[in-house]
Amino acid sequence: MKKQLLFFLALVVCFTMIPQHSNAASQLNGFDSMNQISDENQIIIVNNNGGIGAVVTTYEKSNGEWRKALPTMSAVVGKNGISTKQQEGDGITPTGVYSLGTAFGWGEKPAGVKLPYRTTTANDYWIDDPASSDYNKWVTYNGNPNTRWNSYEILKQPLYKYAVAVNYNTDPIVKGKGSAIFLHVWRSSTSPTAGCVALAEENVKKLLTWIDPAKKPIIVIGKTIQINNLLNDHAEEAASQAVADAQIKANKLRGKYVASSIEEVTLSPQFSSDYSAAKIAILNAQAKINLLQSAKKHELQQGLDAVKPYQIRSAQFIDAINYGKNEVELTRNNVYQFVQNDAFSPELVTSYHLLSAEIRKEELIIGKVYGSETRKYMAEALVKQAKIIRETVIYEVSIYELLNKINNLMAQNDQATALKELEKLDRLKHRAVEIKDAGNKLYPGKYPDLPGMKAFLETYEAETRSKLKK
């Protein structure tokens, strides 16, 4: 008995050590290329391997994982199966990946339908006359249709009690390549269509209530061996279009991130708009490329990488201006208020150090900007005035902090060190006069004497010296 129990436990342990595939992955039925799809979150797969019968499976993406949605359904396709559709009336259901259009029918609209839904009347037709300008379009016409078209589909008929249009041959419409491809109600499980996909009425209604246009549903029609390739091609095409869009938008930024004068250190609304559009387009393209599993991934990545520098340089240019105009200018104005009022307080010291930190950060941001000439004009436009304001009170703040240090040393009964620190005071005051003189020669009137602050510091100095004598 013990041996049997040990054997059973060993089997349990071994089983738990075997890697288990996720339930989500197991539901893909081998259609793993779905994992390359980024924009669409609902997929209908019509799988036909010969004859008119087909299997319809539905998948929905939730939290980044594809899962089977509705129970598997039976369907029928064109009398000549599925293939690349060549011409009107060939009885072929077109292979490929398509979006979905309007839902329609003469039956009562099923509860929960999210697609645009049209109730058909006796005057609604879908035109399959290649000679007509209305080819592959829904037309409502009150007259005799035979006088207007050589061929047309009457939309108010039993097969179209419930239906949804498949966007085949719609953008652009190629005359004669096929029209009126729908998901609709079948005659029976053994009756082919003229090129549509047909299911039992209850299954068409299930599809109509499940399909959510907000989730950008697509339908994939093909044989088992084609499905992954169709999904792969669709993902590649979406990524290619996204890269092309990103390239167009990023190229609009070229040259806008350089300045040849102080006046050009600015952000126009158009530049800001172009930058936002390029950034979004690049992120979108990168997300699609990241999902690809094909050889084209490398090629598309190279195409996107070629224009990314334009967006990065623009971002650095924008960051430098925004930080300078917002953070640096705000703290500069705070310090300038003390200068204008010629009043010293501990709050000035706090504002002074904050301004020094903001200047250092802005200089680091400017240092990343593309082009030495642009960096020069940015420094002049965004940092120069802040530095002047800071230097206007640099020695007032330094003297105040030195006097604070001396008083702290005295509070610790360290008179010897306090006296040594006091020796620095005279040198500091002398240096302050030199700096202001040199500053006013470069920028006349920018370095005022600030007698109010001077009087405050002289009083503080006298109080400090008197304590040292004691």
List phi, psi (to 5°) of 47.
-110, 115
Cα pseudo-dihedral 261, 263, 266, 270, rounded to 10: -100
**Residue count of the chain:** 470
d(CA 268, CA 271): 5
Quickly list DSSP for 20-56: PPPHHHHTTTT-GGGGG--S--EEEEEE--SSSEEEE
Token pair in block for residue 177: 């390549």
Contacts 24+ apart (CB under 8 A), 130-134: 130/88, 130/175, 130/176, 131/175
67: Cβ contacts below 8 Å, ≥ 6 apart: 23, 24, 27, 59, 60, 61
Q: Which amino acid is at 456?
A: F
**Is residue 464 classed as helix, strand or coil in its secondary structure?**
helix
Q: How far apart are CA 207 and CA 114, in angstroms?
A: 11
Pairing relationship of beta strands 42-47 and 65-68 according to DSSP bridges: unpaired
21 is catalytic: no
Q: Is 346 helix (H, G, I), strand (E, B) or coil?
A: helix
Q: Which of 363, 383, 382, 259 is nearest to 321 (CA)?
A: 382
Indicate the burial class of 53 (C-beta count within 10 angstroms; 0-12, 13-18, 19 or more).
middle
DSSP helix/strand/coil, 106: coil
List Cβ neighbours of 240 (8 Å cut-off, separation of 6 or more).
296, 300
Residues 6+ apart with CB under 8 A from 469: none
Residue-wise DSSP of 307-340: THHHHHHHHHHHHHHHHIIIIIHHHHHHHHHHHH
Amino acid at 429: K
Catalytic, 196? Answer yes
- Catalytic choice (184, 234, 298, 430): 184
Residue with tokens 């349990």: 12
Task: Note if the bond before 213 is cis, omega within 30 degrees.
Answer: no
Give the active site residues.
184, 196
